[in-house]
């Protein structure tokens, strides 16, 4: 955006969400750090303050709970004004064979990754309209563009996020609000540690060998850095990306190519 404004980031306490929050603050945005637990959000807030940035911690922000979202959104708006930039980053990525994916796991993943994106966006859209020149960025995944074995619930949820992104972008196309998704490949975050543990447990490989195996899916032969995803988000919320909407942008070293 031409002028830094209020950005709210869900899942801001670690991984990609943390990187995005730090990047937005470094550009001068006032950032609401939304998440369930205060401790990691407080740590990110201290990092932002140490570099002269401004943030507010919105803990208790459960993206599956409409009431908690309403309370947290009201706190953020009261503290920092209308939300101009929304980044939906809260997510979960458990793995299990399809035949061992029970309804509880399925519902939890869909609830956090897809329904959570829907609930938060619907709650904050009135504020984004008021702010003007709004930006909504959903953190999806290359799993929203292709399939991966043993993560059927995750793939389904992220395909849903991409579909939601495209549908809402068309609904809002005649407004000044853009809606896009970023789709990271395997990214070096705490969320990846779960995948590494699963590989180690099932194959007997070391953690380093498991990470190397995941990195090989990227034609560049490496894991994506969280900052690289944050850089894509910074572009999408900039004034220069005003004509970019309804897009699902892969940040994956060429692993998945969109056309």
Would you please indicate which residues are annotated as catalytic (active-site) residues?
154
Token pair for residue 171? 């609904």
Helices and strands counted in the chain (H then E): 9, 7
Contact 105, 94 (CB under 8 A): yes
Tell me how far apart the alpha carbons of residues 56 and 76 are, in angstroms, rounded to a whole number. 7
> Which of 230, 214, 231 is CA-nearest to residue 222?
214
Q: Which two tokens mark 98?
A: 């399809």
Q: Which two tokens stand for residue 189?
A: 């975050």
How many angstroms separate the CA atoms of 90 and 68, rounded?
A: 14
Nearest-10 Cα torsion for 186, 28, 119, 128: -140
Task: Determine the Cα–Cα distance for residues 141 and 146; give it in Å rounded to an integer.
Answer: 9
DSSP assigned state of 252: S
């Amino acid at each position: 955006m031409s002028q830094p404004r209020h950005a709210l980031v869900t899942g801001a306490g670690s991984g990609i969400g943390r990187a995005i929050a730090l990047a937005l603050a470094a550009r001068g945005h006032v950032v609401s750090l939304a998440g369930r637990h205060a401790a990691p959000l407080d740590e990110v807030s201290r990092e932002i303050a140490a570099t002269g940035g401004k943030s507010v911690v919105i803990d208790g922000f459960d993206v599956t709970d409409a009431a908690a979202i309403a309370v947290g959104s009201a706190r953020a708006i009261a503290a920092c004004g209308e939300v101009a930039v929304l980044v939906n980053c809260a997510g979960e990525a458990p793995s299990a064979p399809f035949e061992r994916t029970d309804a509880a796991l399925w519902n939890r993943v869909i609830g956090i990754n897809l329904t959570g994106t829907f609930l938060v966006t619907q709650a904050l859209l009135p504020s984004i309209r008021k702010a003007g020149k709004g930006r909504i960025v959903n953190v999806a995944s290359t799993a929203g563009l292709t399939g991966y074995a043993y993560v059927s619930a995750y793939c389904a949820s992220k395909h849903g996020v991409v579909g939601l992104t495209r549908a809402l972008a068309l609904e809002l196309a005649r407004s000044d609000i853009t809606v896009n998704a970023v789709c990271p490949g395997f990214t070096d975050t705490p969320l990846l540690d779960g995948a590494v543990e699963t590989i180690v447990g099932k194959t007997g490989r070391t953690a380093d060998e498991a990470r190397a195996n995941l990195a090989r899916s990227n034609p560049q032969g490496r894991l994506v850095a969280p900052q690289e995803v944050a850089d894509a988000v910074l572009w999408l919320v900039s004034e220069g990306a005003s004509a970019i909407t309804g897009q699902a942008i892969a940040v994956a070293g060429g692993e998945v190519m969109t056309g």
